[in-house]
Amino acid sequence: MERRSFLKQTAAGAAALVTASGAALAADEAAKAVTADLPTISWRLTSSFPKSLDTIFGASDVLAAALDKITGGKFTIKVFAAGEIVPGLQVLDAIQNGTVEAGHTASYYYFGKNPALAFDCAVPFGLTSRQQTAWMLHGNGMKLMRELFAEYNVVNFMGGNTGVQMGGWFNKEINTVKDLEGLKFRVGGFAGRVLSKLGVVPQQLPGGEIYPALEKGTIDAAEWVGPYDDEKLGFAKIVKNYYTPGWWEAGPQLSFYVNKEQWEKLPDAYKAAWEAACQLAHNDMQAKYDANNPQALANLLQGDVKLRQFSDEIMEACFKATLETYDEESKANPKFKKIYDDWKVFRNNQAQWFSVAEQSYAKFAFAKKL
C-alpha cells in the first residue's frame, strides 16, 4: 500500500511539473495571442537614481521585465539612470515636456513646484509604507494626487516604497536642538523646510552626489534611505554617527510618471499591463529592502559606526515645527490644504488603529529573540 501510494504521489508530482511548465508556455503564447493585433510600442523611462542602487533603481527594471512578459514583447521600456538623459532631479520636467514617455522618481523632489506634491511620497510624521499604500488605493490618495499631477501633464502610479528610513549620517553627535544650528544637511522635500526652523541649512542633492559632498565637507550630514543603500554609497567611510529614526520619511513612496498624452494613446490592454507591472514593482521594492537591511546594518556596525537615536528634545521640537509648517502652508496654498485635510484624517485614524495591534505587538515581541 505504501509503495502504491508513493508511486501515485510521484506520478502526480511529475504531472504537476509538466502542467506548470505547460501553463507557463501557454501563458506566454496567450500573451502573444492577446496582443497580436496591438501595436508595437517602445518607451524610454528616465530614473532619478543611479544603477548602483539596485533596489530603488531596480524597480524600473522590474517594471520593464513584467511589461515585456505580459504583452509578449509588444510593449517595451528602455530604462535610463539619472544623468543619462536628464539629471536625477529633473524627471518631472522631462515627463511634463515629453522629452521621454515615462519616469521613476520621488515626488517630494519637486517640493519647490508645489509642496502638495510631497504627499505622493512622504511628509514629516506621516504614513508608514502600508498606510501610504492604503491611502493611495483605498483612501482618496490616488484621486487627489492624480488631480494635482494633471496640472503637470503627468499620470502618476505607485512605484515602490523603502519603509521607515534612517535619520542620516552626521559628522558630530546631535544631542540638543542647539546642535542643529548651522548644520548643512542633505535632506529632501518637506523635511528641509521644517528643519530650517531649527537652524538647519538644508541641501537637496541626488544620491550620486552625496558621497563627494560629505568627503569635501560641503555638507555636514546626509540622509538617503537606510542600511542597504547607505552601505553601498559608502557613507560610513567618512562619517560615523548614524541616527534614527527618519521621522520625515516613515513610508516614502516612489512613483512612476507617464506623460499624459502618451498614456491616453495607449490601448486599454497596455494600460492594464502597465498598471499590473507597476504594482509588481511597487511590492517588490519594499520586500527587497526589508530582506536586505538587517544584514547591511550588521555590516555597518561591525566597524566604528555608532548607532544613535534622536533625543526626545529634538523629536518634540521637530514635531512642533512640522505642525507649524503644515498650518502655514495650508493657509497659503489651497491645493495643499485640500490634500492635507483629507490625508490628516486618514493618518490619525491609521495611527489610532496601528497603536492597538501593531505597536503593542512590536513593543513586546521585537524585544525578544527566538
> Binding site for Na(+): which residues?
224
Question: How many whole angstroms separate alpha carbon 38 and alpha carbon 57?
Answer: 29
- 170 beta partners: 221, 241
Question: How many whole angstroms separate alpha carbon 204 and alpha carbon 223?
Answer: 10
Question: How many whole angstroms separate alpha carbon 34 and alpha carbon 49?
Answer: 34
Q: Taking a C-beta distance cutoff of 8 angstroms, is the pair 245, 167 a contact?
A: yes
Q: Taking a C-beta distance cutoff of 8 angstroms, is the pair 210, 222 a contact?
A: yes
Question: How many whole angstroms separate alpha carbon 273 and alpha carbon 171?
Answer: 46
The grid cell for 109 is 523632489
Q: Which of 172, 163, 126, 188 minimizes the C-alpha distance to 339? A: 126
Annotated binding site for substrate: 165, 186, 223, 249
Q: Which of 210, 220, 204, 219 minimizes the C-alpha distance to 172? A: 220
Annotated binding site: 165, 186, 223-224, 249
Q: Which of 304, 163, 165 minimizes the C-alpha distance to 241? A: 304
Sheet holding 201-203, edge to edge: 201-203, 184-186, 221-222, 168-170, 241-244, 306-309
CA–chain centroid gap for 94, Å, is 20
Q: Taking a C-beta distance cutoff of 8 angstroms, is the pair 236, 306 a contact?
A: no
Q: Which of 70, 29, 101 minimizes the C-alpha distance to 279? A: 70
CB neighbours (10 Å) of residue 324? 12
Q: Which of 351, 354, 332, 333 minimizes the C-alpha distance to 343? A: 351
